[in-house]
Structure 1
Amino acid sequence: MKNLLIALFTILCFSVANAQNFSFDYGKVSKADIDLKEYDKDKTAEAVVIYDKGSSYFRQNINSGFDLIFERSKRIKILKEAGIEYAEIEIPFYREGNIYEKIYDLKACTYNFEDGRLNRTELQADSWNDEIYNDYWMVRKIAMPNVKAGSIIEFTYKISSQYVFNLRDWEFQSKIPTIYSEYTAAMIPFYEYIYLAQRTGTSLKKESYTDKSSHEFARIEYKDVINKFLMRDIPAFNSEDYITSINDYIIKLDFQLAKINYPNGGDKEIMTTWPNLIKEYSDHPNFGKYVKKCEKSASKIIDLDALKDKTTKDKFDYIVSYVKNNYSWNEYNGKYSSKSVNDILKDKYGNAADLNLLTIGLLRAAGIEATPVLISTRENGKVSDNYPFAHYFNYVILMANIDGKNVLSDATNSNVANNRIPSRCINDKGLIINPDQDVKWIGLQCKFPSISALDFTIDPAKETSNVMVRSFASEYKAFRLKSIIGDDKNKLDDYLEERDYKIDRADFSEISDKSKEFRYEYDLTMTPELINEKLYIKPFLNKSLQDNPLNQPSRSYPIDMTYPTKSILTSNIIIPEGYELDYQPENYKIKNNLFELNYSVEQIEDRIRVILLTDFKESVYDASDYSKIQFYFNEIVKRGNEKIVLKKI
């Protein structure tokens, strides 16, 4: 990857000087911190990180081993009311089963300069919440006290971990600018790490040196090798719509345990190869061996004899639907099963790996070639196939061979068609876990357009206008609506009331293909816009795009729309008696290999038909196409909000 640099620790020197006399030490607030009212390098900033300092080092424990200690201190100046959200702190910590990393020495406070005095409000002990993020990570959430525009907040904490593979990564960049960011990693000879530097460019300063103090472990004397990384004046990451995860694009360091050197002279390579990684997953008791157990238990779960005469596709649909309808996803991602086969059969719920690995076992028992595919969800970021890092992956889906064609599937959501994966899983590529073949990846991109269509019939009058609306959605647009509404009439009413005018009637329309379509219709009334005896009518009401989602002057990362999208808005406006057409917008077209827009207006007897068709033909656009895509959105906003004007005869 051109924006990633892989390197071993190198010896470089840098100097540390506190620009503008800001204090970079916890508990020591400077006059510059207090006087900061606006960040001169980004006057729009709602808050700014004054300093963010972290360090990782090893400490011998009572079990004749090492704990990995991580320390962090951070200070943020809240510049505007909107910046108060950055006073909500999250501290992630790892667990396996009931063995947790330990957070300790946690301190935090808020400073407010009032009436010529600096008032300090301490965070009260235990005034936080620990929440489960997934099967392996917890998050400690802290709401800082007494925060307002002008406040300074800071916090410090330590984490003790027995998981030496979990050397903390370091993010220099966030959604607000950072004045000073420093990370120190003290290495010992028993563990070797490599790191990936993402988008650091030439601004990253590095220094490595050997500490003067000596230590002894297993009768071996050693000294820490100190590695410092420093950056200044890091701009805010300006995130906008159509992005996978900011983790793919922010300035950061990722660390990976590469090798363990044992005191007795032996060693263990942790930095593996893709073939070895595939084999490790295939032999893992909560992955490959779990699939085999599910396959052996299949006859207790489904009637395999009843499937013998079915086609491969029918078997596939039956088994995937069976798991979706009989087992619930607990909304935790996962690449390993979290419970035994007996427990998943008894409990009827589990994480994504529990359900998908179970499905693979059932498919294999029915004679269908099925394989796990390791992926990283959109929120988790993209996988680099240059570096065989297991921590890239956080999810497993399945691939089945249906009549010679590979079909990707996922058993966590009954609202998604069996031959589709949830949109959260559409993220570049996945690794096929098959030890009997060469390393292979499969693209996760969706080539099928998701269509949304709205058909309006507007009968305008002076007092009220009656409108009938018919809605159609397919593919991922339909899957989303099914998840929100399902077949619940009350939920449909609530959904429309939140988004529309006064709804008079709403109901579901007949659906021809329930797996990939969603249809509904409703009636509404609205007060027309009447000025000087002229009726101004928006053909698509407020259902067309109102604002351009792309508002940056430029962009250095792709525009990822997840899947191709096509929208068709059609409006039939009945010309009321005593009125005639006074103004109609001009027809307009754009058509190329990236995008299509077709806007047309025509009068047919006593009706005016307006059609706006838009078609984004790709799921992902290169950053070099940003200005084009931005222009296309501008045109959608412009054409979709044009008005038809009727005047009295």
Structure 2
Amino acid sequence: MKTKILQLLTVTLALPIFAQYKFLDLPKLDIEDLKTTSYSKNAAEPAEVLYKTYHYYITEGELHLDVISRVKIYKKDDAKKFLEEEIYTRQGSNNTNEKITSLKVNTYNLVDGKIAATQVDKNSKYKSKENKNYSVTKFAFENVKDGSVVEYKYSILSPFMYVIPKVMIEDEVPIRYFEYVFDAPIYYGYNVNYKGELKPFKQEVADKMLYGSDSRTYRFAYKNIAAYKDEKYVNNIENYRTSVRFELNSTNFPMSGGNLHDGAISGGFKSYGVSWQDIRKQLYDDENFGDELKRNNLVKGILPEEIKSIKNEAERAAAVLKFTQSKYSWDGEYSAFTDKGLKNLISTKLGNSAEINLLLILLMRSANLNAEPVLLSTVGRGILTSYSPSIGMLNYVLASVDFDGKFTLYDATSKMTTPNIIRPAALNYYGFVMTKTEAKQINVLCPQKSVTYLTVDAKLNPDGTFGGSFSDRDTMLYGSDSRTYRFAYKNIAAYKDEKYVNNIENYR
């Protein structure tokens, strides 16, 4: 995988070549697209994205997102991904919520040689609360046939401007046109993380007057993008697809106010972290991370003395892990920060990934072990890199202990993990040990080889049949998966929304 990072650029005028291409100009639906029965370059493709655009822009201290998607359906039964859509909106504290301000959904068919539109009925759209952090609006296209074109347009208004969500450019089907636009007042400084090999055929990074203020715009346009299929043995295909993500690194406002988390940003220049050391400091200054690690009094008297008295440090750490697993359970939420806090975890025995493993760290420290937190990004969120610091990418915490210069990792969110065997969703190559004084990148993959031993003890009988025994022994990660399967089978009724395993469907 080839990764490229676009640094922030200050360009006063766009080059003349860009004047020939007009961004954010939705083409009129061509009747020829409705007449087409298959993708010209590969008749096996179930669908083709005709046009898709993401337009992020900031006005009056709020983030706007406009999305347009138009997809040609060649094989309805194989294109279900494009026929049922979900729009996630973030729910914050103090009524700082994202909201959908506009949503239009249409299916186009060819009827008697003319374009006929079918609008999705309001009753076909519904909103549900996925968890405390997100709500989801779901809808399904109506009157879809082989040959239909489905289109949706929606707008979101958001108070969250720190991390602009990552947008994947490539998809599992071919794309005819794709645009990404981000416009922000010059008071905001953003890091641009552009990852992947795909290059736009038109791009513009320029300062110009937009929405009544001096702004900086980033615009990328692509055409004729080949399908990027999933592959066997690839942990997360999105790590290799081209993507764009923006993250706030500084503000320079000529006014005073609150802080970023309260929805208003203070005046003057303020940095929001441009190195992993800066992010380390932010973590330890945060009441939902650093302050929790100071609460040693909370764990006094929790660990049995027989665990504290184990002489061998590695055995003592393993015993603390096993104790924590037996007493506390993960609620299914990934997070780098506590939600209800460690005190609530101790009383309810239920908490998110940060709460479980921060408590594990405090318990280890109470057993005279030098435990430190490891911050990382789960497989579904993408790989952390040393050259692109991002607090927004962090959503998981592990405990670590340094034994003679070698880190051993511990994860108490699963009942099945052991030292250096962590939850599969957390096996995402790299993490950062965050101590009070430094941020250090480490490898979080299992340090030893995982092996499956298959043994057959068979005897050939005179009548030509075989009799005997068969055994299957798994080690390391394979052994962890086997234990998880058995645990899932015995507790199948308890499995909802990733309660104990990363994907229960993998074990059914």
TM-score (norm 1): 0.67
For 1:122, the equivalent position in structure 2 comes to 119
Offset at residue 37 of structure 1 (A): 2.1
> Could you tell me which of 158, 162, 170 is aligned with 2:159?
162
Offset at residue 53 of structure 1 (A): 1.4
Q: Distance in 2 between matches of 1:441 and 1:73?
A: 39
Aligned CA distance change for structure 1 residues 369 and 44 (closer, same or farther; 3 Å): same
Offset at residue 169 of structure 1 (A): 3.6
More displaced stretch, 204-213 vs 226-235: 204-213
For 2:368, the equivalent position in structure 1 comes to 367
Aligned CA distance change for structure 1 residues 25 and 392 (closer, same or farther; 3 Å): same
Is contact 1:397–1:409 with CA below 8 Å preserved after alignment?
yes
Q: Which has the higher strand share?
A: 1
Cα deviation code 1:149-205 (max 9, x no counterpart): 222111011110111213344322111111001122222122122312222554342
**Count of residue correspondences:** 473
Cα deviation code 1:455-503 (max 9, x no counterpart): 3437689898767432222222221122122396898xxxxxxxxxxxx
Q: Distance in 1 between matches of 2:106 and 2:232?
A: 34
Is contact 1:296–1:365 with CA below 8 Å preserved after alignment?
no
Partner letter of residue 8 of structure 2? Answer: L
Offset at residue 344 of structure 1 (A): 0.8
Question: Relative contact order, CA 8 A, sep 6+: which one is greater?
Answer: 2
Q: Distance in 2 between matches of 1:119 and 1:335?
A: 49
For 1:14, the equivalent position in structure 2 comes to 18
For 1:308, the equivalent position in structure 2 comes to 309
Aligned CA distance change for structure 1 residues 188 and 484 (closer, same or farther; 3 Å): same
**Unaligned residue ranges in structure 2 (runs of 5+):** 256-266, 493-508
Partner letter of residue 67 of structure 1? Answer: E
Q: Distance in 2 between matches of 1:447 and 1:312?
A: 19
For 1:110, the equivalent position in structure 2 comes to 107
Is contact 2:307–2:319 with CA below 8 Å preserved after alignment?
no
Q: Distance in 2 between matches of 1:59 and 1:156?
A: 20
Partner letter of residue 223 of structure 2? Answer: R
Partner letter of residue 428 of structure 2? Answer: N
Offset at residue 135 of structure 1 (A): 6.0
Aligned CA distance change for structure 1 residues 270 and 403 (closer, same or farther; 3 Å): closer
Cα deviation code 1:560-613 (max 9, x no counterpart): xxxxxxxxxxxxxxxxxxxxxxxxxxxxxxxxxxxxxxxxxxxxxxxxxxxxxx
Partner letter of residue 440 of structure 1? Answer: K
Aligned CA distance change for structure 1 residues 354 and 152 (closer, same or farther; 3 Å): same
More displaced stretch, 354-363 vs 403-412: 403-412
Aligned CA distance change for structure 1 residues 488 and 381 (closer, same or farther; 3 Å): closer
For 2:230, the equivalent position in structure 1 comes to 239
Is contact 2:325–2:413 with CA below 8 Å preserved after alignment?
yes
- 1:443 pairs with 2:443: yes
For 2:140, the equivalent position in structure 1 comes to 143
> Could you tell me which of 279, 282, 291 is aligned with 1:289?
291
**Unaligned residue ranges in structure 1 (runs of 5+):** 61-65, 216-221, 492-649
Cα deviation code 1:11-58 (max 9, x no counterpart): 34436679xxxx9738x4321321232222343321110000121222
- Report the identity percentage: 26
Tell me the secondary structure at the aligned position of residue 109 of structure 2: strand
Q: Which has the larger radius of gyration?
A: 1
Is contact 1:56–1:168 with CA below 8 Å preserved after alignment?
no
Offset at residue 390 of structure 1 (A): 1.4
Offset at residue 4 of structure 1 (A): 1.2
- 1:74 pairs with 2:75: no
Is contact 1:135–1:338 with CA below 8 Å preserved after alignment?
no
Q: Alpha carbon RMSD of aligned pairs, Å?
A: 3.0
Q: Distance in 1 between matches of 2:384 and 2:106?
A: 38
For 1:388, the equivalent position in structure 2 comes to 389
Is contact 1:260–1:269 with CA below 8 Å preserved after alignment?
yes
Is contact 2:35–2:147 with CA below 8 Å preserved after alignment?
no
Aligned CA distance change for structure 1 residues 488 and 92 (closer, same or farther; 3 Å): closer
Is contact 1:275–1:435 with CA below 8 Å preserved after alignment?
no
Aligned CA distance change for structure 1 residues 469 and 15 (closer, same or farther; 3 Å): farther
Is contact 2:318–2:418 with CA below 8 Å preserved after alignment?
no
Cα deviation code 1:434-470 (max 9, x no counterpart): 1324x32111122322222333437689898767432
Partner letter of residue 86 of structure 2? Answer: E
More displaced stretch, 330-339 vs 350-359: 330-339
Q: Distance in 1 between matches of 2:309 and 2:329?
A: 27
Partner letter of residue 408 of structure 2? Answer: V
- 1:432 pairs with 2:436: no
For 2:240, the equivalent position in structure 1 comes to 249
